[in-house]
Each structure stands twice: as C-alpha cells, then as structure tokens.
Amino acid sequence: MWKYIAKRLGLAVLIILGVSVLIYMLSMLMPIDYIDNQTAAAVQSGAMTADDVQRLKELYGLADKSLSGIMTSYFKWLGSTLTGDLGFSFLYGKPVTAVLSEYIWISFLIAFLSYILEIIIGIPMGVRAAVKQYSTYDYTVSVFAMMGTALPSFFLSALLMNILSIRLKIFPLQGLVSATKIFPQGANMAIFLDKAWHLVLPIVVLTLLGVGGVMKFTRTNMLEVLNSDYIRTARAKGLSERTVTYKHAFRNTMIPLVTTLSGMLPGLFGGAMITETVFAIPGIGYMALRATQQGDIPFIMGYNMFLAILTVMGMLLSDLMYMVVDPRVKLS
C-alpha cells in the first residue's frame, strides 16, 4: 500500500505542476489585467499616460506577456510558492495566504453543512427509490431530483429570496450580518445567531442543488446491485428485505458512492461563487470571483492551486477509502 501511495503522490506532483503552468499562462493571457482595470479611468481623463501604465505593469510583473516572459515570471512565482509565499494580492492588498485563511472558513461552513444535508437526505431517498422502483414515490422523487439538478443556482437563489425574504420576510435578503442591528459588547451568542440566520438560505440553495445528484447516483447504483445474482440468492435463503437491502446491497453500493463523495472535497473549500455572490456572502468563492474579474493574478494562482491540491487529495482519499468499504480491494 505504501508503494502505491508513493506512486500516486509522485503523479500528483506532476499533475499539480502541469496545472500550475496552464493556469498561469491562461491568467497572464487574459484580455485585461489588474493595471488596465485600475488605470482605465485615469488614462481616459488624461491623468495618466500610456508610459505611466507601462511602468506600473513592469512594477507588477505584467509587462512582458510573450511566452518567454510568461515562463520567466512563472518560475519566479514557483520559486516563491515552494517557500510558502503565494504572493501579494493586488486587489485586497494582503498576502494571498492571509486572504485565503480569512475568507475560506465561511465558505467551508456553508459547503460542509449543505454537504452533510445532501448525504443525509439524498442517500436514503435514492435507496428507497431503488427498492420501490417504478412506484409513485420513485417517479415523484426522480422528478424533483431532476428539477433540482437542472435549476441554475442564481435562479433558485433569486426565487427563494423573492418568496422567503422579500414577500414573507422570514429570512434576511443578503449579507452576513444585519446592518440595522446594533449588538452590545459581549453579545457573542446574538451575533452568532444573526450570522447563522443569514446563512440558512445559501445552505438551502446548495442542498437543493446537490441532493438530486446524490439521490440519482445512489438509486442507479442500488438498482444495479439489487439485480445481482447474490442478492437473489440472499432472498432465496429467506433473509428479510431490510437485511438484503441494507446489509448486502447497500454495502456494495458504497464503493462508487465513496468515489463521488470524496471528489466533493475541493467543493468544501472552494466556495460557491454564484450563490455567494447572489447572497453577498463574503466567502472565498465571492472573493475569487472579484479577483478574477480584476485580473488579480497572484490571488487567482493561489486560489486555483489550493483547489488543485485538494482535488488530488480527494482522488487519493477515495482510493484509500475503497479498502474501508470493501476489504476485498487491495492497493498495490
């Protein structure tokens, strides 16, 4: 097993290096960069000249966008990254690591809670739909699952905001805290509850969007297992349907489920760009979207490399988890 892990880690390093080169080149070749965004108004009004803009680009390392210039800049970035320095964010005026550590946890909390809810709701729904195939329950759940999967996140967010926030005034519309409330000093619990209430709708949106996929995947794999020969043998031995379903069938369904669920690791930390933007939640996804729009290359690189590393870790974790759910699997 250790030899297998060493091979996968070596392959992971090569994948991450390849991804870093690709992302860096694409970021540098964007049609507009941070300096252009910041100086457009000044150039148009005559307060700055093209030479002033060029000098700023040289200062920020954005002047030479030829292949050799990009690769030279990339190796400088790679050298500093290997020392733990992801650079300084142009847009936020802080080290990239500081921005990531400051805003990533709110995104993690939203994604983690919705992830848990997807598993708690989606897997039992999928198992029951497979057991009751072609029943009214199966058709009803499948239709709602397809609707949840097909709905764009911004549409569902706007729909819930219109109904539950604007019309019924049950939940706050946007933001992480209530701007109209003044909390006394030391009212930590009141502040916590206020923030939690603001996060209900974003969590509901992400749960509704993800639970359909988990349900359909569970149902499909469960149906495949239920039609296997050993399941028919178990039923012929007189085992109860509950024992056949949960002890024999569901255990083998866990193998493909582990692959899917482990692959969700990047999503826990990557943030939900569209949902966070619609609800004005200052999570890492919202901050990454702003940085991308402004051409903040250091932050774009730090954010995407963080997600790449998490993706590789998720793939390795899914392989290792095979041995947990199926002892017959041996890694070599």
Nearest to 210 by CA among 275, 119, 125: 119
Residue 137's domain comprises 100-297
d(CA 175, CA 181): 13
* 163: in domain: yes
52/63 Cα distance (integer angstroms): 12
Dihedral pair phi/psi, residue 327, rounded to 5°: -60, -15
Residue 319 lies in a domain: no
Residue 279 lies in a domain: yes
Residue 172, domain member (yes or no): yes
- In this structure, which amino acid lies at residue 186? G
What number of other Cβ atoms are within 10 A of residue 121's Cβ?
17
Cα angle 272, 180, 194 (rounded to 5 degrees) comes to 50
Per-position b or e across 24-53, b if 16+ CB within 10 A of its CB: beebbeeeebbbbebbeeeeeeeebeeeeb
Beta carbons within 8 Å of 118's beta carbon, 6+ residues apart = 207, 210, 211, 214
For residue 37, being part of any structural domain is answered with: no
Tokens of 99: 């921005």
Per-residue pLDDT at 261: 64
Q: Answer whether residue 309 is part of any domain.
A: no
CA distance 181 to 141: 41
| HSE-CB of 285 using CA atoms within 13 angstroms | 23
Pairwise CA distance, residues 170 & 189, whole Å? 20
- Does residue 30 sit within a domain? no
- Per the structure, the count of domains in the chain is 1
Which helix (H) or strand (E) is 100 found in, with range? helix 96-131
Contact (CB, 8 A) for 302 and 86:
yes
Longest dimension (CA), the chain: 87
Count each helix (H run) and each strand (E run) in the chain, helices first: 15, 0
Q: Averaged in consecutive runs of 10 residues, what is the pLDDT profile of the chain (332 residues)?
A: 77 90 89 82 83 84 84 90 88 91 91 90 91 90 87 91 93 85 79 90 92 89 86 84 81 71 72 88 90 89 89 77 61 56
**Residue 329 near residue 323, CB atoms below 8 Å:** yes
Structure tokens belonging to residue 180: 């109209």
pLDDT score for 148? 83
Predicted pLDDT at 332: 55
Query: Residue 278 CB: number of other CB atoms within 10 A?
Result: 22
What CATH number does residue 188 fall under? 1.10.3720.10
- Residue pLDDT, tens place only, 245-304: 887 788 777 766 766 666 676 777 777 888 999 999 989 989 999 998 888 889 999 999
pLDDT of residue 314: 79
Q: What is the pLDDT of residue 322?
A: 65
Rg (CA), the chain: 25
Q: Are 55 and 262 in contact (CB under 8 A)?
A: no
SS3 95: strand
**Prediction pTM value:** 0.82
In a domain, 155, yes or no: yes
Tell me which DSSP letter residue 88 carries. Answer: B
